[in-house]
Structure 1
Amino acid sequence: MSKICPVFIPFAGCTNRCLYCDQNSLTGFSQSEITHSVVSQIKTVTSSGSFNKIAFFGGSFTCLQEELRQTMYRISREYGFEEIRVSTRPDCINKNIIDELKTNCVTEVELGIQTLNDKALSENLRPYDANKALKSLRMSCENFYTVAQVMPGMYSDSADEFLEGFEVLLSFKPRGFRLYPTVIFKNTPLEKYYKVGEYTPLTLSEALQICLYCTAACISNGTEILRIGIPTENLDYSDIAAGPFHPAFGDLIRTLALMLYFSESGNNLVSSKDGSRAAGYKSLVKKLSLYKIVDGNNLFDMHQVYKFIREQFIEGNFRLFKGQTSHFAEILQDKANHR
């Protein structure tokens, strides 16, 4: 099993600033002295043990100048890492880059695709279109363990267009997804749009519905969900101006899934009253344990739950199920706002 040494290279390789981006709030690192920062981080992490894989997060690795990329490869070798994982953008993937990555022991690539809505990509200042994103995704999937990062709720995007694009991405069979609903950070261009009324973020309820759909689609397709909701490590909550942020977003997704499952599957072992009171996954699991459905060491089979949800979404009772999803998501939003 790989033991990963995470290294953050915030903004490295970025030639523009997307509307929503305030990466310093996510990583806690400045842009300067990339090489010195990488070495310092490696020394700090590896002081606690040995690691066989290094992961470069936060920047667009393949958009870095070739000399700096080669420096990163050299440092990785010098510290004994056998495998490398990189994050990057679709516009910085081509055959030559693919060959370079394979030559230098890169085994995993995470692509920040965000959406396949060309209008949203352009207006959020993403430097590629949907066609380029899909070409890069195909090339990456053919050569590496590939993870696609997507962002429901972007400026100029819509839920329907986002989900239509998500189904296309899923058909390319990436190994995993990260779902990051768009959150407005202070001092970003997106905050200015929000303040003057040009942008309305997703509500927590809407974000839960979209991400539940994506999660159910992935699980049913045998695709891994690596993360749901923006990373909270080193995140100062006061930097968030608005948007569907919740520190336990993934737990809320699981809770919503269980509420829907018991409501629609005909399983009445948990009452609607109990389901409506649930404000988090652990809370609902406690209630389930009272009904002898699960115990602390044997959680309910969430794969079964997500597969059921996927089936309901794509069959004839979609409208009813979508209405139930909205109902329970609004309950969870209310509970989350009053915890």
Structure 2
Amino acid sequence: MTKRNYIIPIFIPHMGCKNNCVFCNQRFITKNLNPMTLEDVDLNIRTNLDFLKDKNNIEVAFYGGSFTGINKKDMINYLELVNEYINKNLINSIRLSTRADYIDGEILNTLKKYKVKTIELGVQSMLQDVLDKNMRGQKIEDVLNSSILIKNYGFKLGLQMMTGMYYSNKEKDLYTAEAIAMLKPDFVRIYPTLVLPETYLKKLYDQGLYRVMNLYECIDSLNQIVKVFESRNIPIARIGLPYEINENDNLIGPRHPSLRELVYSNIYLEIIEKYLDDFSNVKDIKIYASNKNLSYIVGYRCQNKKKLIKEYKFFNISFKYKDIEGMIIEKDSQMINISREEIFKR
């Protein structure tokens, strides 16, 4: 069983960022107007440790800026502070997010010295024209070279992509997912684009030059992207921004408190419906899967279950726990075994 990591997040909005990407307003997302001082970081760590008392595998994570792009002295000060807790066995490791063009051998040696274990790169797109239009200011070669270098130095590699960016589309997003998967990251994050206030993207939107995906288009696109990573056993750490960060803000774009569940439920419903031609004159069926997958199969607020009963006239459909990776559909005495590979086959 995989051990759970407990994250203490430290937000450093815009610190180290040389570019102002068209979609970005980190201070709006994090609600932090100023970078966290060492005193702020120390207080945040102590407060979280009190809450996480008796927990193992605790990580401090620097999010929101480009950590390796900030002033080297400041960067080392942050790392030294966290290392005081690591040396006392109160914290296990450090993770950070940064840009691909802020990685080289010298930086990686410094990070290794201070017990950083995980580095996440904001890739966003693997197409240069999309990066340029979004004023990202990095090259595809930066992503390729940095990803290889990070893995060669023994760090865990996380890669972040965005969907629905300005000048992108469903096909380009799928290409990005495929290109990222070829780099064999240890995990990925997928962020559908939201239009934030006080960004250039908001101006483009107001001028009718940028159209956001609606929720259904977003789920359809994510359906294929998730399959790219799942079919290669690449864990997806997150889909979408945490909803509670912006649930009361008037943001534009595909948001939902259970976006991940909607996407996976869509995938499982798709595979179940594929077999429904075999269910003529059957009124009762049972579906077996692991606890996690059963929730996806039933669907958000039982939407899949309701649809199956309504559209296919099942008298009863039940869902049973079974310790398997795929799922089994039982009708009468017939068992249909569906492997995990088939569920996530593209």
Q: Determine which of 19, 23, 34 is the counterpart of 1:20.
A: 23
Unmatched tracts of structure 1, length 5 or more: 272-277, 314-339
Matching residue of 2:260: 250
What CA RMSD, in Å, does the superposition of the two structures yield over aligned residues? Answer: 2.8
Amino acid at match of 1:251: E
Q: What is the rounded CA distance, in whole Å, between the counterparts of 2:110 and 2:283 in structure 1?
A: 55
- What are the Cα deviations for residues 246-294 of structure 1, in whole angstroms up to 9, with x where unaligned? 22111110221122111123464799xxxxxx99434147658952333
1:262 aligned onto 2:265: no
- What are the Cα deviations for residues 91-146 of structure 1, in whole angstroms up to 9, with x where unaligned? 11111111111111011111110001111111211120112112112222332111
Q: What is the rounded CA distance, in whole Å, between the counterparts of 1:72 and 1:270 in structure 2?
A: 62
Matching residue of 1:196: 207
TM-score normalised to the size of structure 2?
A: 0.79
Matching residue of 2:172: 161
Matching residue of 1:215: 226
Aligned-pair identity in percent equals 28
Amino acid at match of 1:165: T
- What are the Cα deviations for residues 208-261 of structure 1, in whole angstroms up to 9, with x where unaligned? 122111211211111101111122243243240x21122211111022112211
Q: What is the rounded CA distance, in whole Å, between the counterparts of 1:132 and 1:223 in structure 2?
A: 21
Structure 1 residue matching 2:158: 3-state secondary structure: strand
Amino acid at match of 1:98: L
- What are the Cα deviations for residues 281-310 of structure 1, in whole angstroms up to 9, with x where unaligned? 341476589523335x97984796763244
Maintained 8 Å contact 1:134/1:169: no
Q: CA deviation at 1:66?
A: 0.6
Amino acid at match of 1:42: I
Structure 2 residue matching 1:164: 3-state secondary structure: helix
Structure 1 residue matching 2:254: 3-state secondary structure: coil
Q: What is the rounded CA distance, in whole Å, between the counterparts of 1:103 and 1:162 in structure 2?
A: 36
Residues 107, 302 of structure 1: alpha-carbon distance in 2 compared, 3 angstrom cutoff: farther
Q: CA deviation at 1:186?
A: 2.0
Alignment of 1:234-313 (within 5 A): 234-240=245-251, 242-266=252-276, 268=279, 280-284=299-303, 291-294=317-320, 301=326, 307-311=341-345, 313=346
Structure 2 residue matching 1:140: 3-state secondary structure: helix
Structure 2 residue matching 1:4: 3-state secondary structure: strand
Q: What is the rounded CA distance, in whole Å, between the counterparts of 2:283 and 2:219 in structure 1?
A: 22
Q: Determine which of 72, 75, 78 is the counterpart of 1:66.
A: 72
Maintained 8 Å contact 2:298/2:305: no
Structure 2 residue matching 1:180: 3-state secondary structure: strand
Matching residue of 2:147: 137
Which of 1 and 2 has greater Rg?
Answer: 2
Q: What is the rounded CA distance, in whole Å, between the counterparts of 2:212 and 2:344 in structure 1?
A: 26
Matching residue of 1:329: none
Q: Determine which of 61, 72, 77 is the counterpart of 1:55.
A: 61
Maintained 8 Å contact 1:11/1:31: no
Amino acid at match of 2:13: P
Residues 144, 28 of structure 1: alpha-carbon distance in 2 compared, 3 angstrom cutoff: same
Return the structure number with greater strand share: 2
Could you say which structure has the greater relative contact order, defined with CA pairs below 8 angstroms and 6 or more residues apart? Answer: 1
- What are the Cα deviations for residues 18-65 of structure 1, in whole angstroms up to 9, with x where unaligned? 111122232222233433332221122122226642111112111111
Greater shift, 193-202 or 162-171, is seen at 162-171
Residues 183, 5 of structure 1: alpha-carbon distance in 2 compared, 3 angstrom cutoff: same
Structure 1 residue matching 2:163: 3-state secondary structure: coil
Structure 1 residue matching 2:60: 3-state secondary structure: strand
Amino acid at match of 1:68: D
Q: What is the rounded CA distance, in whole Å, between the counterparts of 1:40 and 1:46 in structure 2?
A: 10
TM-score normalised to the size of structure 1?
A: 0.81
Q: What is the rounded CA distance, in whole Å, between the counterparts of 1:148 and 1:232 in structure 2?
A: 21
Q: What is the rounded CA distance, in whole Å, between the counterparts of 2:12 and 2:339 in structure 1?
A: 38
Return the structure number with greater helix share: 1
Q: Determine which of 192, 195, 205 is the counterpart of 1:184.
A: 195
